Amino acid sequence: APALNQIIPLLSEKNERIRGKAAEAVAAIGPDAAWAKPALEALRDDKWGFVRDAVEAALKNSASESSPP
């Protein structure tokens, strides 16, 4: 997913809302975002709960196998 090149840097933004929205975007991409795992793992201990929740969803979705159409 070409958009990931633009999204991954946002996971390290100072603003927590941007980090959370970036993680939500990665979650929406799904299994094609598996290579974002290291950046997501770094946010598992973010001080903001909504960021951690979005990260967990992104990790779960990026690890899921794609379902047939």
Decide if pLDDT at 11 tops 80. Answer: yes
Say what percent of the chain tops pLDDT 90.
Answer: 77
User: In angstroms, how far is CA 61 from the centroid of its own chain?
Assistant: 9
pLDDT tens digits along 20-46: 999 999 999 999 998 899 999 999 999
> pLDDT-based confidence at 53, cuts 50/70/90?
very high
Model pLDDT, residue 67? 44
Mean pLDDT across the chain, nearest whole number? Answer: 90
Say if pTM beats, i.e. exceeds, 0.95: no
Are 29 and 1 in contact by the 8 Å Cβ rule? The answer is yes
